[in-house]
């Protein structure tokens, strides 16, 4: 597994967390905001785990560009929040899609990984992201 794969997943997680932060700033439900903050903490830890398993690069500069799909979703969320009657539901739907996209990318990297390719950390991160996806789905059901 290349550092590039890990960096891509880290960027997806961090880009998604930016949208979580925007959601928290724009919703009125403080209980929901606490739940979203908890998910951010889980995902920040997942990104730290991935960073710790990167191999040292001497010639390659770390890329800090988030996924275009996540950036597009961020723009869409900013645009729609002004016309949406139910901001909480709109953000929850966006966050569900972000979690799905991130999990799909982790699965793709795992599928293409070679034995001994730091897979254990990706499996751990995948389980953490699945728990975040379930939390978002459960919140959406409650609302």
Q: Where are the domains of the chain?
A: 3-53+62-142
Note the CATH number of domain 3-53+62-142. Answer: 1.20.1260.10
pLDDT digits (tens, 9 = 90+) for 66-80: 565 666 666 666 656
- The pLDDT of residue 47 is 95
Query: Running DSSP on this structure, what letter comes out for residue 81?
Result: T
pLDDT digits (tens, 9 = 90+) for 27-47: 889 999 999 999 999 999 999
Return the percentage of the chain with pLDDT > 70, whole number: 76
- The pLDDT of residue 35 is 95
Distance CA(67)–CA(71), nearest Å, equals 6
């Amino acid at each position: 597994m290349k550092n590039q794969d890990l960096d891509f997943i880290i960027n997806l997680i961090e880009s998604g967390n930016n949208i979580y932060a925007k959601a928290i700033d724009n919703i009125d439900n403080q209980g929901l905001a606490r739940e979203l903050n908890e998910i951010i903490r889980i995902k920040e830890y997942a990104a730290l785990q991935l960073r710790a398993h990167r191999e040292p690069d001497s010639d390659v500069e770390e890329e800090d560009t988030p996924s275009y799909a996540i950036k597009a979703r961020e723009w869409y969320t900013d645009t729609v929040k002004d016309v949406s009657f139910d901001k909480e539901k709109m953000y929850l739907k966006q966050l569900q899609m972000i979690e799905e996209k991130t999990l799909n990318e982790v699965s793709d990297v795992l599928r293409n990984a070679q034995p001994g390719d730091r897979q254990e950390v990706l499996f751990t991160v995948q389980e953490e992201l699945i728990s975040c996806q379930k939390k978002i789905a459960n919140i959406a059901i409650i609302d």
